[in-house]
Amino acid sequence: MPFDFRRFDIYRKVPKDLTQPTYTGAIISICCCLFILFLFLSELTGFITTEIVNELYVDDPDKDSGGKIDVSLNISLPNLHCELVGLDIQDEMGRHEVGHIDNSMKIPLNSGVGCRFEGQFSINKVPGNFHVSTHSATAQPQNPDMTHVIHKLSFGDTLQVQNVHGAFNALGGADRLTSNPLASHDYILKIVPTVYEDKSGKQRYSYQYTVANKEYVAYSHTGRIIPAIWFRYDLSPITVKYTERRQPLYRFITTICAIIGGTFTVAGILDSCIFTASEAWKKIQLGKMH
């Protein structure tokens, strides 16, 4: 007797003349297909969409930076001449730079009455401060007006990712135009290293920060101290990492198979129960007629 390969078929076919279509089965079949389509589209959307996972750990992520952090500052002082405005940088490693001018620009405002300072500079990864003041001016003004608007203060790379909402420019839009013109302003910053890794594995290093501020008029035994806008910073040892991830293909296929198989199985059980109950009801009705 020749070997019949068809013996391995576990999906045996039932002739159509041995099956019986019903209205209930048709309704359940249509609902089943629509339900499968809905779940399939939902899973497909989740598979295509990139998921961003975040984690926290203790580390210095950007070890190739040479212990430096890039800073971008954009601030307007509408009532202080540009020749009086300067940037000073100090830290606990002994750095003390007065009148930093590299990669900086001063733009006159209000017909030269005010000034907009834009600067790109680097700071060491140690506690310190940088401040906008008149300390570097050749002659100190009698009553410097330190009212200001901060347009931007950011550290490291600029991250423009839709699903990442962090305090990368927490001071952006800070308006101190109605404050005391002779007051100093202290912004206390806590800087948090942040890493963003895309699907290709490329990493970008940025920094988020929290801020607290106070406004005061300072005096010493010689009289009133020249006001300034201070940014005092410290670094957090905690690093935040955002990683782009996409659902693996095998998991997507497994879920789709589970959806199709599970839905057809449940629909088949439901149809069988309804059909059995319907046949039993018909037999009961026929028994009553006899």
Q: CA angle, 253 as apex, 252 and 254 as ends, to 5°?
A: 90
Interval 256-284 mean pLDDT: 84
Question: What is the distance between the alpha carbons of residues 23 and 272, in angstroms, rounded to a whole number?
Answer: 13
Q: Is residue 134 very low, low, confident or very high in pLDDT (cuts 50, 70, 90)?
A: very high
pLDDT of residue 177: 94
Interval 47-68 mean pLDDT: 82
pLDDT of residue 290: 54
Question: Residue 129 above 90 pLDDT?
Answer: yes
Q: Say what percent of the chain tops pLDDT 90.
A: 44
Residues 174-192 pLDDT 10s:
999 999 999 999 999 999 9
Which has more pLDDT, 107 or 269?
107
pLDDT of residue 268: 84
Which has more pLDDT, 273 or 132?
132
Interval 148-159 mean pLDDT: 92
CB 86 within 8 A of CB 77: no
Q: Say what percent of the chain tops pLDDT 70.
A: 96
pLDDT of residue 251: 87
| Biggest CA-to-CA distance, the chain | 119
pLDDT of residue 53: 81
| HEC readout, the chain | CCCCHHHHCCCCCCCHHHCCCCHHHHHHHHHHHHHHHHHHHHHHHHHHCCEEEEEEEECCCCHHHCCEEEEEEEEEECCCCHHHCEEEEEECCCCEECCCCCCEEEEEECCCCEEEEEEEEEEECCCEEEEEECCCCCCCCCCCCCCCEEEEEEEECCCCCCCCCCCCCCCCCEECCCCCCCCEEEEEEEEEEEEEECCCCCEEEEEEEEEEEEEECCEECCEECCCCEEEEEEECCEEEEEEEECCCHHHHHHHHHHHHHHHHHHHHHHHHHHHHHHHHHHHHHHHHHC
pLDDT of residue 1: 56
Question: Residue 128 above 60 pLDDT?
Answer: yes
Question: What is the distance between the alpha carbons of residues 147 and 114, in angstroms, rounded to a whole number?
Answer: 10
Question: Residue 171 above 90 pLDDT?
Answer: yes
pLDDT of residue 288: 61
Interval 193-217 mean pLDDT: 90
pLDDT of residue 21: 78
Question: What is the distance between the alpha carbons of residues 80 and 148, in angstroms, rounded to a whole number?
Answer: 9
Interval 85-94 mean pLDDT: 94
Question: Residue 32 above 70 pLDDT?
Answer: yes
Question: Residue 198 above 70 pLDDT?
Answer: yes
